Chain A
Amino acid sequence: MLELRKDIFADERDDNLKEVGKGTQRQDMLGHVTGTSTYFDDHKLQGMLHLKVLRSAHAHARLRRIDTTEAERSPGVRRIIRGSDVPRNLNTLLSLINFGKDDEPTLAVDKVRYKGEPIVAVVADSPREAYEAIAKLRVDYEPLPTVFDVEEALKPGAPVVNETYPKNTFTYHDIYDHQKLRFGDVDRALAEADHVLDQRYQMAPIEHAPTETNGSIAAPDTNGRYVVYTSTQALFFSLDTCAKILDVPSNTFHFIGGTVGGGFGGKVDTLTEPLSILGAMLTGRPVRYVFGREEEMQYGPPRGAERIYIQDGVMRDGRIVARKVRAYFDSGAYTRLSSYAVVKCAAHLPGPYAIPNVYGDIYCVFTNRTPATAMRGFGVTAMDFAIECQMDKLAHIVGMDPMEFRILNAYRDGDMKAHRREAKNTALIECVQVAAEKAKWPLREEFKRMSSLEGGGGIRAAIPLTPREPSTPRAAASQQRTSYDRAPAASSHEPPAPPPAPPPPPRPPAPSHGATRFSSVFGNRRR
């Protein structure tokens, strides 16, 4: 049960609000617990056809020839759909907010870029007949060199995964190959720190594993419209994505969703709706396209794997003075949402701590793996795992209690965060105190008395002097270099640094009197 500690944050919330802070019954709970909720797949429409896709057997291959003749003659087959049948066979999800370039086809045309990429769709009277027709499709592949490792993908001469992004990195603001965060002088602070801790963290992709797999049913409606029952967790986002791919106005569609059998971020990508609607358009019949369990596990998008290098500088008294992060987000073969995860990550650094010198280089990298997507706090969760591992190791190095170490370094209200926003409602100190209290973990009096409401701001609210050019590393002084485990220091094999990004081109004078606003996604914008 969520508990707002009014004893600590007396003024935080008005207790007389009608809904906020009051327990309330979820509107769909009765249906769920009585088994009467209707999901998209509970619609059995008259004359409904079934769509299945042929998926790539290779992680990276040119498609020399696709032969559908035998499959077309297979019993029960109503329609074979090829890439050329898709009105706009190139899309990127966030194009709806003008972020990123169209890079992913609905059905692969000349090349496949990950194992399991859809190539041909078969619409048939029954799922069985669709499967039998798929077994009769012939694809002539020419396998291409593959790359599965994020750092390998950045090396010169690495196979180009996605021609839209020939450097295998997402492009930010039309020119940058990564997101950069600079706050203070990290190299100087690392040189002056008593201990420096270098670590490498590698995450695995994580599957959302929803009980209900991704799927949708599309049916022709009156007035040339289509009704779409869908598992999507982003109804209007999916609707607009379909309107773009199928090149029709968005009012062509009536999407019905809302009851999702487990989403967690894995049902944002609109993987089934464009094809089930296209199938309905081409056959004039309702069409159902649902992932099997293996499709969901193997080719449904996971949380992306991330490789993270962290170099922290800490003083003997426990203060962290520098945090330098290099991270590579594995987007798989296409962008989906990893580009945005990188932006979130850069804004999150250095975690909920007040560290005067922070440095971050975060890359969104393309590899021949299954495209990654959103999942619960993506861009932040894995980085937090790495950061909290660092916190435990640093506490150990300086001989401090890990809880007290976190309280000491926690950010407080009024502190300047590295992305130049003032921290508000920080409350980490109180969280650690309450966690320690509940776990009966002893804290010293002075740490029990600390508060996120006091001691922040002032000098901690200032943006430190930040060198524009990368400063040359200084010779180690009296610093003790601490190797925490057997892993070699990450700095010894830092990949060739990309050339420093040129400054953004000067903006033309504003045509109107709108104010300029900075958006982490779009950069400077006038409104």
Chain B
Amino acid sequence: MTVTVKTFATSGEAAAALSSDRSARYLGGGTLVMRALNEGDISVSTVVRATDQALARIEVTNLRVTIGAGVTFARILAERDLGFLHAPARSIGGPAVRNMGTVGGNLFAPSPFGDFTVALLALDATIAMQGGLGTRDLPIEEFLQSRDRQNGALVLAISCQRPASADAFRYRKVARIKPKGGSVITLAAHLPVSSGRISGARIALGSMAATQIRARAAERALEGRSLDSSAISAAAAAIAEGTSPTDSALASAWYRREVAGVHLRRLLSGQE
């Protein structure tokens, strides 16, 4: 069977095409789907595209940002208002991949990829999706837990709050090849501070489980405390709790668990 490419003017039509065909896959920038096709993945028979400009929209208000699923990392890097997302965007691939790869596609990138999604998880993003039955908003954690079953739906946009200050959101990707290697560990931490105390800490990890996950034990270790060395030590000690990394050519599961605390400590204490 040959591969059919279907291009639609609206995201609604594209979503309908996706939900009605199990062998259909949505093509955003193509950095995942074209690779799969080139390597002989015969599970994809229909490629669905949408030219809907709404998918490429970026909206920024004082409190929140909304980014269309089709926005590329190169565009995020060109957007001054999205400065807090520049580090995660820059950590992905080389210029060619950043030029094509999209925010929506990154949500589906398997480990050791999907670094941008680690940042979105720490920022408690909301995923706007269109399925066969209409649109709905899904918290990112819920989305990630059911990611394997989301192929029939189309991601329209993601939205998240803007961190109150530059210090409140931190991101670090550990790779063996710089700047564009796959992730050994990716860490993102959103640590809002009110009257000197951390309130609502969210720490997210990439390459430490089948999907991006939160480090809840480390979050608890920081909650209600100021970001001092004892709090950082407590969080670093707890970082690997609940993780289930696997061995890969980039790093062993053991190594990932061993060094996660070291990198969290560096991230939180502002060391390079």
Contacts and interface: CB of A to CB of B under 8 A. Distances in A.
Interface string B23-46: 000000000000000111010000
A470 interface: no
A464 interface: no
Interface in B1-50: 1-3, 38-40, 42
B39 A132 contact: no
A128 B39 contact: no
A293 B38 CA distance: 9
Interface string A20-56: 0000000000000000000000000000000010000
A134 B39 CA distance: 13
A120 to B, nearest CB: 15
Interface residues of A, number: 13
Taking residues whose C-beta sits less than 8 angstroms from the other chain, chain B's interface range is: under 10
Interface in A105-138: 126-129, 131-132, 134-135
Contact of B1 (A75, A134, A294): A75
A292 B42 contact: no
Contacts of B42: 128, 131-132, 135
B39 A293 contact: yes
B177 to A, nearest CB: 12
Contact of A52 (B2, B3, B38, B40): B40
B2 A294 contact: no
Nearest to B43: A135
Nearest to B3: A128
A127 B1 CA distance: 11
A213 to B, nearest CB: 11
Contacts of B2: 126, 128
Contacts of A135: 42
Contacts of A292: 38-40
Contacts of A128: 1-3, 40, 42
A131 B39 CA distance: 9
A489 B83 CA distance: 55
A292 B41 CA distance: 12
Interface string B50-69: 00000000000000000000
Given A75-B1, A132-B1, A127 B40 contact: yes
B41 to A, nearest CB: 8
B1 A131 contact: no
Given A292-B39, A292-B40, A293-B39, 19 more contacts: A52-B40, A75-B1, A126-B2, A127-B40, A128-B1, A128-B2, A128-B3, A128-B40, A128-B42, A129-B1, A131-B40, A131-B42, A132-B1, A132-B42, A134-B40, A135-B42, A292-B38, A293-B38, A294-B39
22 contacts: A52-B40, A75-B1, A126-B2, A127-B40, A128-B1, A128-B2, A128-B3, A128-B40, A128-B42, A129-B1, A131-B40, A131-B42, A132-B1, A132-B42, A134-B40, A135-B42, A292-B38, A292-B39, A292-B40, A293-B38, A293-B39, A294-B39
